[in-house]
Amino acid sequence: MRQQLLRMQAEAAGLPLIEIPLPWPCSNQQYETIMGEALESARNQLQMDAVAFGDLYLEDIRNYREAKMQGTGLELLFPLWQIPTAELAQQMIAGGLKAAITCLDPRVMPAAFCRQISFPINCSKSYQSPSTPAEKMESSIPLHGTDLCLNTQFQ
């Protein structure tokens, strides 16, 4: 289901999606070889000159990415680096970002949150236990700046 939602989101946003299958189990050496080949293929296919990462805080992950990307000729972008999550959420909302929860675990978050295009953001709230059982839910994937939504039903 997650792959299906990812594909639908990429399609709705008009973004290319390159799926890279990994074997299981996958050693770090295999991972790096497969990802290196996929990156080179994507670079040629999309004529890209930069790669953006959504990392916020993990210095060791950033260092790993920088080390592995050395010599690729690609610019590395970390546009969210060290922005506090509450501040980032507020910036995104203030900038007009609209989002909908497209998949959730009703044991952790109330099922009523699914499908909501806008909902109150409380970055410190933690959902411990659902008040409703798992149920069939419909999901909408909105596109900012348009009226287009994709709908899907899933359990």
pLDDT tens profile 30-54: 999 999 999 999 898 999 899 888 8
Q: What are phi and psi of 75, to 5 degrees?
A: -80, 135
Q: Does pLDDT of 73 surpass 80?
A: yes
Q: What is the mean pLDDT of residues 1-9?
A: 81
Q: Does pLDDT of 142 surpass 70?
A: no
pTM: 0.60
pLDDT the model gives residue 151: 40
pLDDT tens profile 49-70: 998 888 889 999 999 999 999 9
Which H helix or E strand runs over 151?
strand 149-154
> Distance (Å, rounded) from C-alpha 91 to C-alpha 82?
14
